[in-house]
Amino acid sequence: MKQILLILALLLAPLAAAAQEETVVAGLSQNEVSITANFNGSEILIFGAVERYTPVPEGNPLEVIITIEGPDRPVTVRRMDRRYGIWMNTEAVEVDAAPTFYAVATTNPFREVISDTEDLRHRISIPRAIRAVGTETEHQRDFTDAVIRIRTNEDLYQVLEGAVTLRNETLFNTSFRMPANLVEGDYTARIFLTRGREVVSSYETAITVRKVGLERMIYTLAHERPLVYGLLSLAIAIAAGWLASAVFRYIRMGG
């Protein structure tokens, strides 16, 4: 039995070494994004190198795909149609896992750097990153497309073909513009190396997006102490109304 295991190990060793011929060594300009009261977006630079133990393979050029994905949230998308002279909701689909932010950057056009099978396996493109469940409908794809269209217009979904710079099949870099309307949470950056439209290596790291300062205090109060938050909001509204009324009376008396 030991001899059989030894033979299998010797046979599989070359395959394991081949699988590690190219690996990613990467870094980020920042691993944490702080959302403050005057936050208007942030830029993240992702850079790295390809570590290899054999000469650069010939034939299929190396390609790089880099993604940043925000936390998933459920979304209900409704279709409105005109019925009996009025507009009403006629269909709905629950998108069970839609990233709040998703950006994908590539060295070349997306379909030239990865096959559909590999895209499905790793969930790299935006449609693959979204899962729709719930109500079955022949127009389900239309609902998913609606989510993508809305969030693309809000700069929350980005497709940046050709935005990754690759030098000598070794050094690569790109940058992502994170919009001001980011959702707080844990984000994931992924890097894929492909040859012949097949993934040969991947790398993953985390990015933290957190509210800080006054934004953090208000967010925590609203979610952890909703009664206190409500009473405080009411008190501020009453005080603001009284102050506005006092100023108005002062102006009238002065006139």
Q: How far is CA 85 from the centre of its chain?
A: 40
Radius of gyration of the chain from its Cα atoms, rounded to whole angstroms = 26
Instruction: Tell me what pLDDT residue 6 has.
Output: 39
> What is the assigned CATH class of domain 18-211?
mainly beta
Residue 190 DSSP symbol: E
Instruction: Tell me what pLDDT residue 22 has.
Output: 86
What is the arithmetic mean of pLDDT over 128-134? 71
- Which pLDDT band, with edges at 50, 70 and 90, does 13 fall under? very low
- pTM as predicted: 0.71
- Which pLDDT band, with edges at 50, 70 and 90, does 73 fall under? confident
pLDDT in tens, 207-231: 988 765 555 455 555 555 566 556 6
Measure Cα distances from 163 to 8, 65, 68 in Å.
Answer: 43, 10, 14
Q: Return the domain boundaries, the chain.
A: 18-211, 225-255
- Report residue 207: phi and psi, to 5°: -130, 130
In what side-by-side order are the strands of the sheet with 42-52? 22-28, 42-52, 171-178, 165-167
Instruction: Please return the burial class of 200, using the count of CB atoms within 10 Å of its CB with bins 0-12, 13-18 and 19+.
Output: buried
